[in-house]
Structure 1
Amino acid sequence: MLTVRQLNAFYGKSHILRGVDLDLEKGEIVAMLGRNGVGRSTTLKAIMGLVHRTGSVRFDGKETVGYQPFSIARLGLGFVPEDRAIFSNLTVAQNLLLGLKSGRPSERWTLDDTWQVFPRLKEREDTPAGVLSGGEQQMLAICRTLMGGPQAIMIDEPTEGLSPQMVERVGEILLRIAQRGISILLVEQKLAIALRISQRVYVMGQGRIVFSGSVGEFARDGNVAKQWLEV
């Protein structure tokens, strides 16, 4: 579904990503791990066309390097940024409706799906999004992206700053999303939750992929975590 080959990304003259290769298949959750500052968030932005990039990014068989971000989104690739990017002055329901593509209801994810999966949002559908808790805002950001009916979504640090209970809730939601056949590329700092819900793992270091394998392979190779994840 998503095939990335020799992806390079730049901020001005700074060369951040150096030949990143990765794949994401239908319905799987793939975690991207690494210390802060190694290029994980930049990888998602580069795939989405939000930073200058070279290389190849194919989504659903189409080469997207040279596409604008809105064109990539229309192909069916969603992106939930780390800052969530909700509209604080709009209500929960209004934020969700903004996720619809060209105003058309999604066949893959509807408002009723959102209310069913996260009833707390239903209770607060007429509440300004800016007064929601951090966990509620994260759920809103994820569900707003799903309203566009994506085939795959990329999520950047969804559990950052959340309570342990909400972290578990986010994990449950991501599993339910994947069960619907929606692929997830997950940048996550919390190792336990990432390994529990993912099928495969990429580890980044210094702008490159330094490990690629199954969760089991990662767990058996203690040197990877020690060298590239431990502080």
Structure 2
Amino acid sequence: MLEVSNLHAYYGKSHILQGVDLHVAGGEVVSLIGRNGVGRSTTVKAIMGEVPPRGSVKFKGREIGGLPSYRIARLGIGYVPEHRDIFPELTVRQNLMLGMKDAKREGRWTIQGSLDMFPNLAARADAPAGVLSGGEKQMLTMCRTMMGDPDLVMIDEPTEGLAPLIVRQVGELIAEIARRGVAILLVEQKLSIALDISHRVYVMGHGRIVFEGTPADLKANDSVRREWLEV
């Protein structure tokens, strides 16, 4: 479904991504893990067109590298950024409505279905989204993205700074997204979540992929974990 080959990206003269290769199959959950600053977020931004990519990015066999973000989204890629952008003065319900691509066609996700999954959001459905806690904003951001009914969603650091209870809820939502047949590329710092829900994992270091395998493969590879993951 998603094929990334020899992907490079720059911030000014800084060469951040240095030939990244990865792929995500339909219905697959793939995690991109590594220490902070190695290029994980830049990878998903380059795929989504928020950072100019050099190399090949194909989605469903079509080259999308260099397309504007709105066109990439229309093709069926959802993106949940790490900064949890919501419209604070709009209600929770209105934020969800903004994620819909076609109000006349019901996809795998509905406003009521999203509210039913999270009673806290349902209780504030008609309140300004700005009153939500950090964890509730994360839930809203993810649900709003899913309202567009993407075939693949990229989720960047969804559990960063959240309490353990909310972390568990985020993990459950990601698992539910996968159960509905949506492919997932997850950027995650917490190994416990990434290894629990992923079919495959990539480890990134210094702007390139240094390991690819199953969660079991990574658990068995002490040298990779020591060199590229452990603090």
TM-score, structure 2 length as denominator?
0.97
The residue that corresponds to 2:33 in the other structure is 33
The residue that corresponds to 2:155 in the other structure is 155
**3-state secondary structure, aligned to 1:52:** coil
| 1:197, distance to aligned residue in structure 2 (A) | 1.1
The residue that corresponds to 1:73 in the other structure is 73
The 10-residue stretch of structure 1 (98-107 or 73-82) with the greater mean CA deviation from structure 2: 98-107
**3-state secondary structure, aligned to 2:49:** coil
Q: Could you tell me how far apart the structure 1 residues matched to 2:151 and 2:161 are? A: 27
The residue that corresponds to 2:22 in the other structure is 22
**Are the counterparts in 2 of residues 106 and 148 from structure 1 also a CA contact under 8 Å?**
no
Once the two structures are superposed, the pairs formed by residues 58-207 of structure 1 within 5 Å of their partners are 58-101=58-101, 103-207=103-207
Once the two structures are superposed, the pairs formed by residues 1-12 of structure 1 within 5 Å of their partners are 1-12=1-12
Q: Could you tell me how far apart the structure 2 residues matched to 1:91 and 1:54 are? A: 39
Q: Could you tell me how far apart the structure 1 residues matched to 2:152 and 2:116 are? A: 21
Percent identity of paired positions between Structure 1 and Structure 2: 59
Count of residue pairs the alignment pairs up: 231
Q: Could you tell me how far apart the structure 2 residues matched to 1:60 and 1:118 are? A: 32
Q: Could you tell me how far apart the structure 1 residues matched to 2:185 and 2:224 are? A: 20
Q: Could you tell me how far apart the structure 1 residues matched to 2:83 and 2:74 are? A: 22
Q: Could you tell me how far apart the structure 1 residues matched to 2:105 and 2:93 are? A: 14
The residue that corresponds to 1:55 in the other structure is 55
Q: Could you tell me how far apart the structure 1 residues matched to 2:69 and 2:106 are? A: 19
Q: Show structure 1 runs of 5+ residues with no match.
A: none
Structure 1 letter corresponding to 2:139: M
Query: Are the structure 2 counterparts of residues 164 and 182 from structure 1 closer, same or farther at C-alpha, using a change threshold of 3 Å?
Result: same
| 1:226 has 2:226 as partner | yes
| 1:4, distance to aligned residue in structure 2 (A) | 0.5
**Are the counterparts in 2 of residues 28 and 182 from structure 1 also a CA contact under 8 Å?**
yes
Q: Could you tell me how far apart the structure 2 residues matched to 1:104 and 1:89 are? A: 25
Structure 2 letter corresponding to 1:47: I
**3-state secondary structure, aligned to 1:88:** coil
**Are the counterparts in 2 of residues 100 and 106 from structure 1 also a CA contact under 8 Å?**
no
Q: Could you tell me how far apart the structure 1 residues matched to 2:116 and 2:128 are? A: 20
Q: Could you tell me how far apart the structure 1 residues matched to 2:146 and 2:13 are? A: 35
Structure 1 letter corresponding to 2:135: G
TM-score, structure 1 length as denominator?
0.97
Q: Deviations over 1:2-59 (max 9, x none)?
A: 1100011111221110110011111221111100000000000000011111111111
Structure 2 letter corresponding to 1:42: T
Structure 2 letter corresponding to 1:222: D
Q: Could you tell me how far apart the structure 1 residues matched to 2:105 and 2:206 are? A: 41
Query: Are the structure 2 counterparts of residues 42 and 98 from structure 1 closer, same or farther at C-alpha, using a change threshold of 3 Å?
Result: same
The 10-residue stretch of structure 1 (39-48 or 23-32) with the greater mean CA deviation from structure 2: 23-32
| 1:106, distance to aligned residue in structure 2 (A) | 4.0
**3-state secondary structure, aligned to 1:216:** helix
Structure 1 letter corresponding to 2:16: I
Q: Could you tell me how far apart the structure 1 residues matched to 2:150 and 2:125 are? A: 22
